[in-house]
Amino acid sequence: MTVKAQGAAEFVPDDADLETLRSAVQGCRGCDLHRHATQAVFGEGPKRAAVLLVGEQPGDKEDLRGAPFVGPAGKLLDRALAEAGFDRATVYLTNAVKHFKFEERGKQRIHKKPGRTEVVACLPWLLAEVDRVRPRLIVCLGATAAQAVLGTAFRLTKQRGELVDPGPGDFAGQRVVATIHPSAVLRSRDRDADYAGLVDDLRAAASLAGQVSAH
């Protein structure tokens, strides 16, 4: 996959550590999402983590607290990670898009899926995180995250749970697995089955992370 690093690139400081990046992202004006979000939500986790999980974007709770995966989907993910054998403290959690995109309905802020332009604009931040964390395995949660890393031709319905080599491009050399986003489990009509599938995929990812050589 080759995606031109537009939008956020000029706001990402060269050779900065994660803490510096976390501070710098608050000044990002790479797309218009910063205009309405409370703040940018950067990733959290160890400076070196075997597994980096990437979701779509922060939600309402994440936007208010400034931390990834702290809302209802995050609580479900915590439970799934624990059942799959992960300690959340040992994985790095982030999103493809760092600002919350939403529409207002009364007093509620309702999630809106980020467009491809916004995903591409924000990609330099994710690339910087991957470069610093150096994960053995990237786990994409949901189609937006998967297509951010693997390109728009990737189909979650066809390649879910498979170990994928992104090929040449921005994520060359990485190993990637994609599964559903925990928010999809919350919306599911068959929540138990979809939750079990998420746990199975995360359990397989845990095994793969132990088998894939660090780089």
What pLDDT, in 10s, does the model give residues 153-179?
999 999 999 999 998 899 999 999 999
Please report, as a single letter, which amino acid is at residue 113: K
- Distance spanning both ends of the chain, measured CA to CA: 19
Q: How far apart, in whole angstroms, are the C-alpha atoms of residue 195 and residue 41? A: 25
pLDDT at res. 212: 61
Per DSSP, the three-state class of 106 is coil
Residue 210's pLDDT band, with cuts at 50, 70 and 90, is: confident
| Mean local confidence (pLDDT), 45-56 | 97
pLDDT at res. 13: 97
Q: How far apart, in whole angstroms, are the C-alpha atoms of residue 130 and residue 195? A: 27
Q: How far apart, in whole angstroms, are the C-alpha atoms of residue 200 and residue 205? A: 9
Please report, as a single letter, which amino acid is at residue 45: G
| Mean local confidence (pLDDT), 13-37 | 96
Could you please state the CATH topology (level 3) that the domain comprising 9-213 is classified under.
Answer: Uracil-DNA Glycosylase, subunit E (3.40.470)
Q: Inform me whether the pLDDT recorded for 2 exceeds 70.
A: no
pTM of the model: 0.93
Q: How far apart, in whole angstroms, are the C-alpha atoms of residue 179 and residue 146? A: 8
Q: For the chain, what is the largest distance between any 2 Cα atoms, rounded to a whole number of angstroms? A: 50
Nearest to 177 by CA among 203, 153, 196, 195: 203
Other Cβ atoms within 10 Å of 108 Cβ, number? 9
pLDDT at res. 6: 56
| Mean local confidence (pLDDT), 171-200 | 97
| Mean local confidence (pLDDT), 133-154 | 97
- Mean pLDDT, the chain, rounded, equals 94
- Which residues, 6+ apart, have CB-to-CB distance to 51 below 8 Å? 86, 90, 91, 92, 135, 136, 137, 138, 139, 205, 206, 209
Share of the chain above pLDDT 90, in %: 92
209 token code pair: 């992370």
Q: Inform me whether the pLDDT recorded for 143 exceeds 60.
A: yes
